[in-house]
Amino acid sequence: MKRVGEVTRTAQGLLVVRSVDDSYPRLGTTVIDENLDEIGTVVTIFGPVERPYLAVSPAGEPKASFVGAALYARD
């Protein structure tokens, strides 16, 4: 399990995640939380190359409680 980044906000039904560095996951990667619960799938990558943002399509409704949560890539 590798840390992907932290949820910074929700927008248009997606979770916006700030990557921890330039080694971000590929499109279609399943992301999970610290409890190993599936949160969603990476659908796009945008922003600066050094620390891009990831748009994650949530498995359920995007909740404001996800903001600030660390997300991880499933191996």
pLDDT for 14-29, tens place per residue?
A: 999 999 988 889 999 9
Looking at the chain, the whole-number percentage of residues with pLDDT higher than 70 is 97
- SS3 readout for the chain: CEEEEEEEEEECCEEEEEECCCCCCCCCCEEECCCCCEEEEEEEEECCCCCCEEEEEECCCCCHHHCCCEEEECC
Task: Find out whether 65 and 9 touch, Cβ atoms under 8 Å.
Answer: no
Structural domain span for residue 44: 2-61+68-73
Higher per-residue confidence, 16 vs 74:
16
pTM passes above 0.75: yes
User: How many domains, the chain?
Assistant: 1
The predicted pLDDT at position 60 comes to 81
pLDDT over 80 at 67, yes or no: yes
Residues in the chain: 75
Q: In this structure, what CATH number is given to the domain that contains residue 24?
A: 2.40.10.230
In which band, very low, low, confident or very high, does the pLDDT at 61 lie, cut at 50, 70 and 90? confident
